[in-house]
Chains A and B, each alone.
Chain A
Amino acid sequence: MFILVVGGGKVGYYLAKELIENGHEVVIMEKDRSRADQITDELGSIVISADGCEGTSLGKAGCARADIVAAVTGDDEDNLVICQMAKHHFDVPRTIARVNNPKNEELFRHLGVDELASPTRMILGTIEQDIPVQELLHLATLGEGRLELIEAHLQADSPAVGRTPSQLAIPDGCALFGVIRGGVAVPLAPDMALRESDKVIAIGNKACERALHRLLIGATGTEGEAGA
């Protein structure tokens, strides 16, 4: 296949290298002359030093006979225009755009880009898998560092949902003060049932943090204990 890669940065360079190793015909367009020369030294005469957004330059690079155009510059707007020009002006069957701002994905799809590659989205996904949503937030340290002001965000599966403070086995040295419900601060009465999405404000010493977590968020790992 003939693949036209626009943008000779790190992504474009390694992409072209892999594609060549897999036996494809590749042309890179890179507007920065010295970067273009550098890639030529390393990969051979496959670089055209021209702006891939210019209609005439795309034509000269053989865009009209490309099977795939991959726009991998660092600028979303350039990648969009490259793909649209390739698709609509040169009838390229398949266009791929690198998207940096995840919010542009929907627009690009809507405007006819065939495939999107979003490094931001991918890394974000990986981070979100590794780190669970913070359910127990440390708001402040009090009492010369011995006490913590904590906010617990109750999820649907929290053992505290549907229970009142008097039904909860609140650990010694710890007190629940109030609830933020729908953005409004509400004092916590002994007979008030907690609900999903409540943010419970508590103060306690560091030793009871684990017990608070079990009580308000739920068991962690293999612990079966669920408070009450």
Chain B
Amino acid sequence: MKIVIVGCGRVGAALAESYDAAGHQVVILDISTRAFGRLAGTFRGSAVRGDGTDEDTLRRVGAENADVFLSLTEGDNRNVMAAQVAAEGLGAKRVIAKINDPVRAAAYAELGLTTLCRTTLLADAVSAHLGLPVSGQSGIRASSGSHAGHGHELHQMYQGGSGETNGETGAAAGDTTSREA
């Protein structure tokens, strides 16, 4: 599979490494080259400095017709825009945008993006661990609207994982997911 990841933070880097190790074609972008220091020396994919919301940049790195496009920067809106460029302009098949604002995450799931909300994921993980009530919402929402609409499979793929794809534990969750993929 061709997998494009925007944002080389802990989660982005961990997923890039594990998908690369699993034999997929991985391209990871970040606006800072320093971020690529998170990648292990064994990473064989391409790491490119560039703005993931810029269609020209995405085309240049070969993001067209990606099988998977993950938008995981620290900016909700950047993720939303990059994901929509990928889904609408570049024909990416499965697109996930990290949106930490739960209201925005829900709104964009309705609009057809598969969204990943760290706020909901972490809050529920903490409550579940403590045996306290959880929000009842899913931290990863499959697209239910009109964007590139294959989110559901990915949704199930993630649901099958540990449900913990964030922060310090990102690497572990990434490994789990790639084995299941």
Residue positions of A touching B, CB distance < 8 A? 53-56, 75-78, 80-81, 84-85, 88-89, 101, 103, 107, 110-111
Interface membership of B24, Cβ < 8 A:
no
Contact A56 B103 (CB under 8 A): yes
| Residues of B in contact, count (CB < 8 Å) | 23
Q: Given A53-B104, A55-B101, A85-B104, do A107 and B80 touch, yes or no (CB 8 Å)?
A: no
Contact A55 B107 (CB under 8 A): yes
A73 nearest CB neighbor, chain B only: B77
Residue positions of B touching A, CB distance < 8 A? 53-56, 75-78, 80-81, 84-85, 88-89, 101-104, 106-108, 110-111
Q: Which chain B residues border A103 with CB–CB below 8 Å?
A: 54-56
Contact A77 B107 (CB under 8 A): no
CB distance from B99 to the nearest CB of A (A): 9
Q: In whole angstroms, what is the CA distance A77 to B76 when docked?
A: 9
Q: Which chain B residues border A76 with CB–CB below 8 Å?
A: 53, 81
Question: What are 7 inter-chain pairs, A to B, with CB distance below 8 A?
Answer: A53-B104, A77-B53, A77-B77, A80-B80, A89-B107, A103-B56, A110-B88
Q: In whole angstroms, what is the CA distance A78 to B56 when docked?
A: 19
CB distance from B102 to the nearest CB of A (A): 8
Q: Which chain B residues border A107 with CB–CB below 8 Å?
A: 55, 84-85, 88-89
Interface of B, secondary structure class, is helix
Q: Which chain A residues border B77 with CB–CB below 8 Å?
A: 53, 75, 77-78, 80-81
Q: Which chain B residues border A75 with CB–CB below 8 Å?
A: 77
Q: Which chain B residues border A101 with CB–CB below 8 Å?
A: 54
User: Of the candidates B84, B88, B101, B106, which one forms a contact with A53 in the assembled complex, judged by CB atoms under 8 Å apart?
Assistant: B101
Contact B78 A77 (CB under 8 A): yes
User: Of the candidates B56, B80, B88, which one forms a contact with A77 in the assembled complex, judged by CB atoms under 8 Å apart?
Assistant: B80
Contact A81 B104 (CB under 8 A): yes
B55 nearest CB neighbor, chain A only: A103
Contact A54 B84 (CB under 8 A): no
Q: Which chain B residues border A55 with CB–CB below 8 Å?
A: 101-104, 106-107
